Amino acid sequence: MRIGFLGAGFIARYHARNLAEVSDVDVVTCFDIDGERAAAFADAFGGAPAASAEEVIAACDAVYVCAWTAAHPELVEAVAAAGKPLFCEKPLAISLPLVTAMAEAVEDAGVINQVGLVLRRSPAFRWVRHQISQSSAGPLMSIVFRDDQYLPIQGFYGSTWRVDKDKAGSGALLEHSIHDLDLLRWMMGPIASVSARTENWHGHDGIEDQAVAWLSAESGAAATLVSIWHDLLDRPSQRRVEVFCRDAYFHIEGDWNGPVRWERNGSSGELAGRDLAEAAARCDGEGHNPDAAFVEAVRSGRPAHPDFGVAVEAHRLCAAAYRSAAEDGRPINPQR
């Protein structure tokens, strides 16, 4: 399978490394407006830089869209129009109407599509989600979710466009915590109400670096989400999640390999690393590599997951949170 990349930055390299684990897949070309970055990507992962996005689309069996967020709609439309399977990084776009239009475009084109909500493949979150779905845990009551990382224009991210409102749309909640909103909906079920507050400590126009959101599920479960972009360069991206059920408690420290700790009446334990990955696989039969899953979907002709439809629901929550923050924290129904 011939894979091409539109965008050759940090996240493109993440996916290319994952694809290197998959047999009979070749990264054959890439396009980036920064020619030096495209050349470095090609040197690292194979193929040759292309002169345009159209050249990449024509040369490949499937295409990854990894440009800045505001560029996604046009690139996705071009890939879908060519009838090629596509993988688009999150967030899909800078506004819910654009996201909805993108989902309609890929559906109308009938192309296999997947979104970079990669924490759906996290052993930690998969294992905990399975546990809370068991009757022995009792009903889900509450989730306390903290997500922090340093402002990603620094360090190994180097994504300077993330403080450009025209390219990023907004800040930490959309650009980073779209993952978290998706995970909360995945674990809690349909969300009935969202309230939020945002702050801007770094002073970049339209780019919030702190968001606090409260989510109420139709089931009656509730969650709090705190999302922060700071300047602690020695502190990598971190997630800490506490999940309270009536008869069980789960604590995720580290969003991929754990450790995950749990308590039940009369028992407790911990899983991490390979043990956690194997336990998650036993629960759902899935693997941890989101890019291997995309390749398998393309090869088999089956729908990929999570797809644009899943991403639309996460964007609904995000749009509701921003609307609430603009209205002094008023609760918003994300379906309205």
pLDDT (tens digit per residue) in 58-79: 999 999 999 999 999 999 999 9
Locate tokens 């020619």: which residue?
35
pLDDT tens-digit map of 268-298: 999 999 999 999 999 999 999 999 999 999 9
- In 3D, which of 136, 128, 71 has the Cα closest to residue 255? 128
- pLDDT above 70 as % of the chain: 100
Report the distance separating Cα 100 and Cα 6, nearest Å: 21
Q: Which helix (H) or strand (E) holds 192?
A: strand 191-199
In terms of domains, do 126 and 192 share one? Answer: yes
In terms of domains, do 167 and 91 share one? Answer: no
Locate tokens 């990449």: which residue?
56
Domain range for 110 is 2-116
User: Domain containing 15 — which CATH number?
Assistant: 3.40.50.720
Locate tokens 């688009």: which residue?
88
Q: Kindly give, in sequence order, each residue whose CB lies less than 8 Å from that of residue 267, ignoring residues fewer than 6 positions away.
A: none
Give SS3 for 245.
Answer: strand
Q: Tell whether the model's pLDDT for residue 31 goes beyond 90.
A: yes
Report the distance separating Cα 259 and Cα 325, nearest Å: 33
Report the distance separating Cα 205 and Cα 174, nearest Å: 15
* Residue 90 placed within a domain: yes
Which of 89, 116, 143 delimits the end of a domain? 116
In terms of domains, do 264 and 145 share one? Answer: yes
The two three-digit tokens of residue 10, written as one number: 């940090």
Report yes or no: 116 and 290 within 8 Å, Cβ to Cβ.
Answer: yes
* Residue 335 placed within a domain: no
Locate tokens 């069980």: which residue?
248
pLDDT tens-digit map of 132-161: 999 999 999 999 999 999 999 999 898 999
* Residue 228 placed within a domain: yes
The two three-digit tokens of residue 246, written as one number: 């009536």
pLDDT at 209: 98
The edge-to-edge listing of strands for the beta sheet with 222-230 is 191-199, 210-217, 222-230, 140-150, 238-245, 248-253, 260-264, 267-271
What is the total count of domains within the chain?
A: 2
In terms of domains, do 21 and 150 share one? Answer: no
* Residue 295 placed within a domain: no
pLDDT at 74: 98
Provide mean pLDDT across the span 233-260: 96
**Residue type for position 45:** F
Report yes or no: 299 and 1 within 8 Å, Cβ to Cβ.
Answer: yes
Which of 64, 92, 116 delimits the end of a domain? 116
In terms of domains, do 237 and 213 share one? Answer: yes
Report yes or no: 116 and 88 within 8 Å, Cβ to Cβ.
Answer: yes
In terms of domains, do 177 and 195 share one? Answer: yes
Q: How many other C-beta atoms can be found within 10 angstroms of the C-beta atom of residue 71?
A: 19
Report yes or no: 215 and 142 within 8 Å, Cβ to Cβ.
Answer: no
In terms of domains, do 73 and 103 share one? Answer: yes
In terms of domains, do 271 and 124 share one? Answer: yes
pLDDT at 257: 96
Report the distance separating Cα 185 and Cα 125, nearest Å: 12
pLDDT at 171: 98
pLDDT tens-digit map of 90-120: 999 999 999 999 999 999 999 999 999 999 9
* Residue 88 placed within a domain: yes
Q: Which residues pair with 250 in a beta bridge?
A: 243, 262
Phi-psi region of 287 (alpha: psi -120 to 50; beta: other; left: phi over 0): beta
Q: Residue 108, exposed/middle/buried by CB under 10 A (0-12, 13-18, 19+)? A: exposed
Looking at every residue in the chain, the average pLDDT score rounds to 97
* Residue 272 placed within a domain: yes
- Say what the pTM is: 0.97
User: Domain containing 257 — which CATH number?
Assistant: 3.30.360.10
In terms of domains, do 93 and 186 share one? Answer: no
Largest CA distance in the chain: 63
Report yes or no: 82 and 110 within 8 Å, Cβ to Cβ.
Answer: no
In terms of domains, do 106 and 126 share one? Answer: no
In terms of domains, do 112 and 123 share one? Answer: no
CA distances from 35 to 3, 39, 50, 152 (A): 19, 6, 9, 22
pLDDT tens-digit map of 228-241: 999 999 998 999 99
Report yes or no: 153 and 207 within 8 Å, Cβ to Cβ.
Answer: no
Report yes or no: 289 and 18 within 8 Å, Cβ to Cβ.
Answer: yes
pLDDT at 236: 84
Q: Kindly give, in sequence order, each residue whose CB lies less than 8 Å from that of residue 52, ignoring residues fewer than 6 positions away.
A: 31
pLDDT at 85: 98
Q: Which helix (H) or strand (E) holds 268?
A: strand 267-271
**Residue type for position 223:** A
In terms of domains, do 315 and 170 share one? Answer: yes
Which of 53, 81, 116 delimits the end of a domain? 116
* Residue 294 placed within a domain: no
* Structure confidence at residue 178 as a pLDDT band (50, 70, 90): very high
pLDDT at 10: 95
* Residue 69 placed within a domain: yes
